[in-house]
Amino acid sequence: MEHVKVQYAKTHLSALIASVERGEEVVIARGDQPVARLVPIEGREHRDLGFVAYPVPDEFFAPLPEDELAAWEGA
């Protein structure tokens, strides 16, 4: 478990988060007093980026009706 001061945590937050993602814990202290702990989220599953599992209907690409188009344009 790594112990760091608040100023170090502010300066190196990205590196500390990377450590937590690897399973480490980080304690942040104000002076000598521990005040916070960064820990990995339990049960977080990894999700791969993928494509839509169903075909997109042709109507999706059809032009919008005039009234709806006007609403999107703020008219």
CATH number at residue 17: 3.40.1620.10
* Within-domain flag for 53: no
Give the pLDDT of residue 56. Answer: 81
Residue 8 counted as domain residue: yes
**Residue 16: which residues within 8 A CB-CB, separation 6 or more?**
2, 4, 9, 26, 38
15 occurs within a structural domain: yes
The number of beta carbons lying within 10 Å of the beta carbon of residue 26 is 19
54 is a domain residue: no
Domain presence at residue 20: yes
* Number of domains into which the chain is organized: 1
Question: Once rounded to an integer, what is the mean pLDDT over residues 4-11?
Answer: 96
Distance CA(16)–CA(19), nearest Å, equals 5
**pTM given for the model:** 0.56
Residue 57, in any domain of the structure:
no
* Structure confidence at residue 52 (pLDDT): 66
The pLDDT assigned to 5 comes to 97
Range of the domain at 16: 1-41
Average pLDDT over the chain reads: 89
What's the whole-number mean pLDDT along residues 10-31? Answer: 95
